[in-house]
Chains A and B, each alone.
Chain A
């Protein structure tokens, strides 16, 4: 039974299609109503996913159905993460889009993109995955360039688009290779076929995996496929950046875990070192580049690259440590909320003060206390400072890397690199905090957008609450983590 993805598809799809129609039907502009519709649809979806979980109708782990979609906990976890981010994005947009044109299309595209992400996570067929991938990507190209009069936005969108187009072509290419090797596009069948692959076909399988890594890695922001990311994150409207950083990126991980990791396991490849190297490169470059940034969005974009590296650790050590993938999934969930909250906070700053430059957010702690608090806490959570949620997932990731040390020599080094990076990241997060709180003492308070406040409060509760008492989420993650019991 694959009810959940279909319900989401239905609910969000209908809302997504209706919104532009509504826009045409109603001549007067009433932005909040569109947002309300979008939010309603998203809440229904989240509620449904949650209800499925609570009522225990979801199968644990990642399952492989003969259908194109599976209703499993793995997808459910991603769905929740992504839908939360979509809610953030929509909520954050309410104030952001107040004076912009075409709000209906805007929200509709967010919804469509959300469908795409969710379905990527639920897909058990390569074709479905590809199509969902595109549904996720194409609206975000538009959204990134939605500020038509802003050259930055357009530049960001163009760069994003070119990368996106190239990587989707590469994904198709990869799918074609896999398909050629196995004669099927259903992931479970693919994996079964790959386990019995003829040795002479191995180079092609590797080529396919490489293509997948590149194709998905672009979305995840893995080095060296990351180069579009800072530019786009900086240029795109901040609520959309939130969506990109916190949600579409996670779709990349969902796809990678479903296909690449499973496929690699099926091929009995020694792929962990390669992923480990990419992970270290990714986090190091991300964190180092972030240090001297002057633009808040850009700094967080680099931090986002760094976090992709952390998540990749879990993938790299997945065969050696059960905690690896758990940590990855956990960090996916946490990072979604943390980064989402951070970017929404920035969007609030942009709405209220129209600045993102670090020197201009001096005294933000006094000007916009709640936003600043939310940003601070999410930065601390990103840095992995306990007792915030980010700490626990990093803990699991580092632990997994260490644990793998008994199988692979580089496991502890991975952990050390990650730990040092994590410490390094605190330097630039601290820099932001410094600007917000310790400079500009004479700043006066300004009005903060209510929607942003709502997001801040939710994410604060999430980050602190689940940081103090992480057990439910850990159990949830454990349930959602795929095992290497191949079909």
Chain B
């Protein structure tokens, strides 16, 4: 059962990741990306991390992907459906991909990770909360700064200038 789900999720995630990159239309591409991100969320469920999974769904699928979608819709139509590719570059990219997969795959397969397994109970998400507040609290503060900085920065950048600047 779980294996079948895993298989399905794998196909969904990887397939839609490829689709996101390769589909002609950017809109469909972003939808495919959502699928891929959702698939990862599914993996999280499989891994007994519902908190992260929900966070993933909320933040990624819910906001990021939608943000992307809106951005896509901002740009001109012909851009959305235009897909310019450089064949040589694509071949080189596929080559790189294959080499990467083969070598890193072999690396991983040859390592002792194959024997790693766990039968411990899933982690309670309250532990995560405790981590955040006790151990990682400076990181949390920093996180907040990142978000504020990113938001102000993105706002400043994206804001349309009414009057013409001096630059």
Contacts and interface: CB of A to CB of B under 8 A. Distances in A.
Question: Is A–B contact present in the complex under a CB 8 A cutoff?
Answer: yes
Interface of A: 5-6, 9, 13, 16-17, 20, 67-69, 99-102, 105, 108-109, 112, 115-116, 119, 125, 127-128, 131-132, 134-135, 138-139, 141-143, 145-150, 180, 198-204, 206-207
Interface in B15-42: none
Question: Which of B107, B149, B161, B167 has most A Cβ within 10 Å?
Answer: B149
A142 B157 contact: yes
15 contacts: A6-B138, A68-B138, A101-B156, A108-B152, A119-B142, A131-B142, A132-B139, A135-B146, A142-B149, A148-B167, A150-B167, A200-B115, A201-B112, A203-B107, A204-B113
A199 to B, nearest CB: 8
Given A128-B142, A139-B153, 11 more contacts: A101-B161, A102-B156, A108-B149, A127-B136, A143-B153, A198-B112, A200-B111, A202-B111, A204-B111, A207-B104, A207-B108
Given A105-B152, A149-B167, A131 B146 contact: yes
B4 to A, nearest CB: 25
Nearest to B104: A207
B71 interface: no
Interface of B: 104, 107-108, 110-113, 115-116, 135-136, 138-139, 141-143, 145-146, 148-150, 152-154, 156-157, 161, 165-167
Contacts of A20: 152
A134 B146 contact: yes
A68 B141 CA distance: 12
B156 A142 contact: yes
A347 B162 CA distance: 27
A321 B104 CA distance: 33
A17 B148 contact: yes
A145 B141 CA distance: 25
Nearest to B115: A200
A116 to B, nearest CB: 7
B146 A201 contact: no
Nearest to A6: B138
